[in-house]
Amino acid sequence: MSTSTLDGVGHGAPGTSYLNAKSGLMSWLFTIDHKRIGVMYLVTVLSFFLVGGLLALGIRTELLTPAGDVFSAAVYNKLFTLHGAIMVFLVLVPAIPATLGNFLLPLQLGTIDVAFPKLNLLSFHIYLLGAFFLVFTLVTGGVDTGWTFYTPYSSTSADGNVVAALTGAFILGFSSILTGLNFIVTVHKMRAPGVTWLRMPLFVWAIYATSVIQVLATPVIAITLFLLIFEKIVGIGIFDPALGGDPVLFQHFFWFYSHPVVYVMVLPAFGVMSETITVHSRKHIFGYTAIAASSIAIAAVGFIIWGHHMFVSGQSELSGTVFSLLTFAVAIPTAIKLCSWIATLYRGSIQWNSPMLYSLGFLWIFAIGGLTGLFLATLSTDVHFHDTYFVVAHFHYVMMGGVLFALIAGMHHWWPKITGRMFNDKIGRINWVLAFVGYNLTFFPQFVAGSQGMPRRYHQYLPEFQMWNQLSTLGSYLFGLSLFIILAYLLHSIFKGVKAPSNPWGAASLEWQTKSPPVEHNFEADVICTYGPYDYDAHRAAQS
Amino acid sequence: MSTAAGADHGHAHPWYQAHHFKNMEQQNASNKFGMWLFLVQELLFFAGLFMAYASMRYFYPGTWLEAAEQLDKVMGAINTVVLLTSSLTMALGVRAAQLGQNKQVAAWMVATIAGAYGFLIIKYFEYSHKIHVGLLPGKWFGFDELKTTATNAPQIFFSVYFMMTGVHGLHVVIGIGVIFWILFRALRDEFGPENYAAVENVGLYWHLVDLIWIFLFPLLYLVR
């Protein structure tokens, strides 16, 4: 890209970036710069990931032996509940859209900021308020209902602070809605000249589909939690069967949000894959339109398959059959994506660096997670697998493994852009082996134990499951260690890393056509886009 | 990629245009689109309440009708008229803003706020009566005449009634807040043919609040 700036209209002195344009804590906490907001989200989300992760290690440590010897049963119930609630509401939902999404969306569209910068800051502050309530729950006795808050557990549980946890999740929903709303408007109205719909990076398409789900699904969980709070305080009798309510209605409400929300988690991960795989194999993405359309298809079909969480909850056989069939349908757009990425790799010039390795790890993990989903979508096998560790392993493979490997791939890929520094790729590559082995060792044995009948959420288990549990616990320690190593070398790079060039990977999308880190207003001059985000030939021609 | 020189950065835009928008057209279109998305979100939020209403009425059809008889149809009807009128004054306010007649905007906002307060006052009398006789949600329910039924259905009806009208009432209160904001801006003579999106958006919100009441009134008061 040739950048020309008229004298006196550029932003700031040479060498200034969004990181040092202003200083002081307040310049961060009350910034309306989408890049700073993205960085703040990243720091906060990763901090809560640490909390949720430590809770998970507590669970795994308890499960080293069949007897309940480390924690009491009551504490164990709180451990998995808080682990789930923190990981879902505070980590996975905002994990990619609010962090990388915030940072990248305006950059990839060639614009100055999101459509509503102040609303963006408000979303972050609402997120902090909701997080405060969950932390408050954690320190005032926890909560033992499971993250799903099923009635009547939640409406009758006297153990811990259920109302505070519900209030936290309720508030967090609005942060998610406002972020989604902001991003949809940004995609529609803020694109730079030349950034047509079919010239948007696939990450943007993924974030767009995600945002649609956030706006349409989240209000339903908000009203559900709102009603549940009143069920708890006043006994309104809508969900509690003892008062004449319908607990299955709660499950319908809950999964009407909570199934689509797994796509809020994983669609942005797909978006990251569509960027890292093409850039690091130096090849135009295969099936651009199909990948973009499949994001929208997943978002659409994702809304009508929630009933597969309730095959054994007493819904009718007809509903079960229809939900099963529709669930299989969602495998189609997902497979289109996976196949397109593999076709992109085919005869590409694959760079064996950290972003690529984590992307390949994602493909492996997501393929396993996705295919085991089909076992659970089948009515007959689901009756056997329901509420076993098979389900736990499945959703960790898709939600946690899928999202985390993509987030780590994305963090490596965009690290030079965000921080202006290069990380140590050699340590990254070696550590990837530890992460990949540790991850699979943690969760693969759970498929086996689950298929043999080990139930989820149990404090103690039968001795025949001990080997699988010990393998899993060993894996979780290795995986935890690998994540600390990533944290260490990334933090090290901020202080000691080599300064990053503006486009270290030779990418063609717009965010790489400005400085690393970008200036406060993203681009030094107005952007006019003349070729697509994966058109490497046109990009090279424009460079020379 | 080619880039043109940053001609737009010369700050030659009107005071009401935010820096990150290229022109007023983009700003107005974004604001309007954002508001419509917000209204979609509102609809889904209320959808949960309507779904709870539908399920509970399906479970308890008989007592549902019996309990609904306890609501004051006259007060409900008056409130419907009050709220519809306030929607009219709001629409007239938007028209005045488009024409840049800020004094009229202010007058119409005062009328709309009066309607909103009127609605809340009538609702206050309805609520006080219900509280007085014990027609309350859940465990607070104490209306002996209906309590004899074998099920909890009357309690549930009043739970649904207070949840739906309560959440709606909260929206009315928030509406009063944002209409006051428009009123103060009109008094500062801010609106004009290019700069009326705020009035229009508050108007859209107010019409939605009105629209939801149009559904609540027959579902709760007029069921047969």
Q: Answer for the pair A446, A390: CB distance below 8 angstroms, yes or no.
A: yes
Window 119-158 of B, Cβ < 8 Å to A: 137-140, 151-153, 155-156
What pLDDT is recorded for position A1?
Answer: 40
What pLDDT is recorded for position A7?
Answer: 36
Q: Answer for the pair A32, A113: CB distance below 8 angstroms, yes or no.
A: yes
Window 354-413 of A, Cβ < 8 Å to B: none
Q: Measured between CB atoms, does A526 come within 8 Å of chain B?
A: yes
What pLDDT is recorded for position B223?
Answer: 86
Chain B interface disruption, residue of A33, A109, A184, A189, most B CBs within 10 A: A189
Confidence grade of residue A258 (pLDDT, cut at 50, 70, 90): very high
Other residues' Cβ atoms within 10 Å of the Cβ of residue A245: 28
Mean model confidence pLDDT for chain A:
94
d(CA A147, CA A390): 18
What pLDDT is recorded for position A499?
Answer: 95
A5, pLDDT greater than 80: no
Closest in B7, B37, B159 to A215, CB measured:
B37
Range of the domain at A388: 28-543
Percent of residues, chain A, with pLDDT higher than 70: 97
A84, pLDDT greater than 60: yes
ipTM: 0.92
d(CA B61, CA B52): 14
What pLDDT is recorded for position A394?
Answer: 97
Q: Taking phi first (over 0 means left), then psi (-120 to 50 degrees means alpha), and beta for anything else, what does residue A24 get? A: left
In a domain, A1, yes or no: no
Question: What's the CA angle centered on A500, arms A495 and A503, to 5 degrees?
Answer: 155
Q: Measured between CB atoms, does A190 come within 8 Å of chain B?
A: yes
Confidence grade of residue A157 (pLDDT, cut at 50, 70, 90): confident
In a domain, A359, yes or no: yes
In a domain, A170, yes or no: yes
Q: Answer for the pair A5, A524: CB distance below 8 angstroms, yes or no.
A: yes
Average pLDDT over residues A228-239: 93
Name which of A156-170, A217-231, B209-223 the model is least confident about.
A156-170
Q: Answer for the pair A81, A142: CB distance below 8 angstroms, yes or no.
A: yes
What pLDDT is recorded for position B8?
Answer: 45
- Tens digit of pLDDT for each residue in A28-67? 999 999 999 999 999 999 999 999 999 999 999 999 999 9
> What distance, in Å, lies between the first and last C-alpha atoms of chain B?
66
A167, pLDDT greater than 80: yes
The three-state secondary structure class of A71 is coil
Please list, in sequence order, all residues whose beta carbon lies within 8 angstroms of the beta carbon of residue A460, skipping any fewer than 6 positions away. Answer: A66, A67, A68, A73
Confidence grade of residue A10 (pLDDT, cut at 50, 70, 90): very low
- Tens digit of pLDDT for each residue in A323-333? 999 999 999 99
Do A525 and B3 count as a contact with CB atoms less than 8 A apart?
Answer: yes
In a domain, A254, yes or no: yes
Other residues' Cβ atoms within 10 Å of the Cβ of residue A198: 10
Q: Which amino acid is at B108?
A: W
In a domain, A346, yes or no: yes
Q: Answer for the pair A301, A326: CB distance below 8 angstroms, yes or no.
A: yes
Other residues' Cβ atoms within 10 Å of the Cβ of residue A193: 13
Q: Report all structural domains of chain B as residue ranges with CATH numbers, in order of start.
A: 39-221 (1.20.120.80)
Domain count, chain A: 1
The per-residue DSSP string of A296-350 comes to: HHHHHHGGG-GGGG-TTTT--HHHHHHHHHHHHHHHHHHHHHHHHHHHHHTTS--
What pLDDT is recorded for position B36?
Answer: 98
What pLDDT is recorded for position B139?
Answer: 82
Q: Which amino acid is at A502?
A: S
Beta bridge partners of A519: A522
Q: Measured between CB atoms, does A2 come within 8 Å of chain B?
A: yes
HEC string of A88-153?
HHHHHHHHCHHHHHHHHHHHHHCCCCCCCHHHHHHHHHHHHHHHHHHHHHHHCCCECCCCCCCCCH
What pLDDT is recorded for position A64?
Answer: 96
d(CA A240, CA A233): 12
Q: Which amino acid is at A160?
A: G
Please list every residue in chain A whose beta carbon sits closer than 8 Å to the beta carbon of residue B138: 230-231, 234-237, 243
Q: Count CA atoms closer than 13 A to A426's CA, side-chain side.
A: 1
- Specify the CATH number for the domain of residue A90: 1.20.210.10
Phi, psi dihedral angles at B3 (to 5 degrees): -125, 140
Beta bridge partners of B192: B195
Do A542 and B46 count as a contact with CB atoms less than 8 A apart?
Answer: no
Closest in A219, A246, A530 to B45, CB measured:
A219
In a domain, A41, yes or no: yes
A218, pLDDT greater than 50: yes
The three-state secondary structure class of A273 is helix
Q: Measured between CB atoms, does B61 come within 8 Å of chain A?
A: no
Which pair of tokens denotes residue A190? Answer: 């803020």
For residue A244, the chain B residue with the least C-alpha distance is: B152
Confidence grade of residue B138 (pLDDT, cut at 50, 70, 90): confident
Q: Answer for the pair A367, A402: CB distance below 8 angstroms, yes or no.
A: no
Percent of residues, chain A, with pLDDT higher than 90: 92
Confidence grade of residue A8 (pLDDT, cut at 50, 70, 90): very low
A11, pLDDT greater than 90: no
Separation of CA A469 from chain center: 26
In a domain, A213, yes or no: yes
Question: What's the CA angle centered on A59, arms A57 and A63, to 5 degrees?
Answer: 110
Q: Answer for the pair B119, B86: CB distance below 8 angstroms, yes or no.
A: yes
d(CA A405, CA A392): 18
In a domain, A18, yes or no: no
Nearest Cα neighbor of A286 from A346, A217, A212, A215 is A346
Q: Which amino acid is at A344?
A: T
Other residues' Cβ atoms within 10 Å of the Cβ of residue B142: 12
DSSP B224: -
Do A230 and B159 count as a contact with CB atoms less than 8 A apart?
Answer: yes
Phi, psi dihedral angles at B136 (to 5 degrees): -130, 165
Q: Measured between CB atoms, does A535 come within 8 Å of chain B?
A: no
